[in-house]
Amino acid sequence: MKSNIFFLIFLCKVLVLSAQNQNFIAHEGITNPLHKANIGRITFLSSPILLSETKESDMIKSCTFNEKSNIYMRVFMGNSLMNYLHPLAPELPAQELDKIGNFQFVFAVDSQVVYTENLHYGAFGLENKNMRTVFRVPLVSEQKEDSWGLFLWRRFILNGGEDALTVGEHTLTITVKSYINKPVLKIGEIIAVGSLDLIVPAKEVSEKQIAVQAIANHKDWTVAKVQANETKIRELNRKIGQNYFKNITSIVVIKQDSLFLEQYFGEANRKTLHDTRSVGKTFTSALLGIAIKEGLVKGEDQPLKDFYDLNKFENYSEKKATITLKNLLTMTSGFEGNDNEQTSKGNEELMYPSGNWVKFALDLPMDNTKIVGKDWQYFTAGVVVLGDILHQKTPKGLEKYAANNLFKPLGISNYEWQYTPQKVVNTAGGLRLSSLDLAKFGQLYKNKGQWKGAEILTADWVNKSLLPQQNTTSGEKYGYLWWSKTYQVAGKNYEVAYCTGNGGSKIFVFKDYPLVVVITATAYNQPYAHKQIDKLMENYLIEAIAMPF
């Protein structure tokens, strides 16, 4: 392994001499003796030392890797990035190359490539691409500086790095190249390469953390007599205790209408009210179904013009007037609003500081590139509009309607809402509930709208809600504010409908198995929040609870 690295470094230096004689654009030069001695190398530091103050002895060859690690990467190049990009498209000026090219980073662990990323073209900046011949970024840092290096590292960890860096000793190798991606992807020569030996210690986890937690009696649930697979649950608990699965606060499983598994982590317990963010959106879907059942709303095909004088809002159009409640439920309204695009006029982050969230939504223009009822895009403001319509149409407003027609029938008395600036309950996601009460909501759908023999939702509404009606941009399906996907475990398919929120909290309703799963988590705005739940389900939980069926 080490001999391969030295050969790559030697190759880099040969290529550098050639590149320096054919500069496309002037750069900052290579004057520092340490830089001259390390052209083509990636070196590592345990603190952010300036190049002018760095000595050979400051460059680490190994370190212990854990949550308290500090690892900085310094890349010694033989030229500026722009001069490496130029041969890939020699007909383009620097300003155009800047828009289509950047560094490619290849992460390998123990000689096996784990993750490759073509860094977003905007991450380094035109001036740096033109001028810099050496740079330093943090990869792991307790200070959590605002740096693209930290996010690059997190994506590596999320996309295989965590699985590769198991307890023990490993060699991490990072290779840097150049790339452009227009009209096709082209990869340039190796710019630099370097290795760091990582020692991954085992995190001590107590028997109390690993043990399957006993289930106490509960007034609303029968406790199952059969237990989950103890070995798999202990493995899962160990992973949670070791922080492999991060910020998990509870796991509850209902199997055949009985409480099958109930576990809490950290400070959480049965009484904890979990901030599940957009899980609350799906409660809006249920409340609309109840309102339709009671005749307060005619049906999900009613258009917006039945509820608002849209001429009083900005950007009026006939197209906007025909948007239906179903379009809002399925995120296919065609508004120029997409929470997954920061530049979207209707991004939810622009809604929150506005004084009137409903006006914000209804003032938006239509997106003429989208077909209403067909093109999906995640649009939180549309669910706020649904909540406002329900607030208008229900006796004494939505908060009391939800209390009397959903929570009380389910035996839910302890919960907390957040509110819009107009003091209407926030249907975008701000509802806090306990894990067992979240499980009641999931079981309501599993039971086709029935709870303890009483009909809260019609079976027809439940079926339409869980039906995968739309393709999403992530490749999953979408119903009436319910997502759906299929897990594959031990050769079997497990189709689930689920509601989900920022941080990783989810309620899963299994289609073909008598299972409801609630997971609460607080990994807010973290890139691993949702992927780790998929891994938890696929590698541990489903096998522990679904076998045999």
The full DSSP string for 366-390 is B-TTS-TTT-----HHHHHHHHHHH
Give per-residue pLDDT as tens, 58-81.
999 999 998 889 999 999 999 999
Across the range 43-61, mean pLDDT stands at 96
Q: d(Cα 428, Cα 36) in Å, to the nearest integer? A: 56
Give me the pLDDT at residue 438, please. Answer: 98
Is it the case that residue 296 has pLDDT exceeding 70? yes
Look at residue 530 in the predicted model and tell me its pLDDT: 96
3 state DSSP class of 1: coil
pLDDT at 534: 97
Cis peptide, bond prior to residue 548, ω within 30 of zero: yes
Per-residue model confidence as pLDDT tens digits over 353-410: 999 999 999 999 999 999 999 999 999 999 999 999 999 999 999 999 999 999 999 9
Q: 277-490+497-504 architecture in CATH?
A: 3-Layer(aba) Sandwich (3.40)
Instruction: Please tell me the predicted confidence (pLDDT) of residue 35.
Output: 97
Structural domain spans, the chain: 2-200, 203-211+228-245+530-549, 277-490+497-504
Q: For all residues of the chain together, what is the average pLDDT? A: 94
- Indicate if the pLDDT at residue 308 is higher than 50: yes
Residue 15 has pLDDT above 70, yes or no: no
In sequence order, what DSSP letters do the residues of 291-357 get, joined into one string? HHHTTSS--TT-BGGGT--GGGSSS--HHHHT-BHHHHHTT---BS--TT-TT-TT-HHHHTTSS-H
- Indicate the range of 9-23, 189-203, 386-400 predicted with least confidence: 9-23
- pLDDT band of residue 19 (cuts 50, 70, 90) is very low
**Which residue matches tokens 């990323």?**
117
Question: Residues 264, 271: contact at Cβ < 8 Å?
Answer: no
Contacts for 208-215: CB closer than 8 Å, 24+ residues apart: 209/237, 209/238, 209/240, 209/241, 210/234, 210/237, 210/238, 210/241, 211/237, 212/237, 212/261, 212/263, 213/262, 213/263, 213/264, 215/259, 215/261, 215/262
3-state secondary structure of 423: coil
The residues that bridge with 41 in the sheet, in sequence order, are 193
- Kind of pairing, strands 101-109 and 71-76? unpaired
Beta strand spans in 77-228 (E): 101-109, 112-118, 134-140, 168-181, 185-200, 222-223
d(CA 261, CA 237): 12
pLDDT at 20: 44
Q: What is the pLDDT of residues 439-472, one digit of tens each?
A: 999 999 999 999 999 999 999 999 999 999 999 9
The pairs formed by 115-122 with CB atoms below 8 angstroms and a separation of 24 or more are 115/155, 115/156, 115/159, 115/160, 115/161, 117/152, 117/155, 117/156, 118/179, 118/181, 118/185, 119/148, 119/152, 120/148
Q: Dmax of the chain from CA atoms?
A: 82
Cα-flanking dihedrals φ and ψ of residue 24, to 5°?
-85, -35
**Can you count the helices (H) and strands (E) in the chain?**
20, 21
Is the C-alpha dihedral spanning 527, 528, 534, 538 positive or negative? Answer: positive
Confidence (pLDDT) at 16: 46
List, for residues 236-274, the tens digit of each pLDDT value.
Answer: 999 999 999 999 999 999 999 999 999 999 999 999 999
Instruction: Give pLDDT, residue 21.
Output: 45
Distance CA 333, CA 366 (A): 9
419 forms beta bridges with 425
- Collapsing DSSP to helix, strand or coil, 251 comes out as strand
- End-to-end C-alpha distance for the chain, whole angstroms: 47
pLDDT of residue 68: 86
Which residues on neighbouring strands pair with residue 178, listed in sequence order? 103
Residues 76-130: pLDDT tens digits?
999 999 999 999 999 999 999 999 999 999 999 999 999 999 999 999 999 999 9
Residue 526 has pLDDT above 60, yes or no: yes
Tell me how far apart the alpha carbons of residues 264 and 269 are, in angstroms, rounded to a whole number: 6
Paired with 324 in beta bridges are: 303
For residue 126, the one-letter residue type is L
Residue with tokens 């590149």: 19
pLDDT digits (tens, 9 = 90+) for 469-508: 999 999 999 999 999 999 999 999 999 999 999 999 999 9
Give percent above pLDDT 90 in the chain: 92
What is residue 374's predicted lDDT score, i.e. its pLDDT? Answer: 97
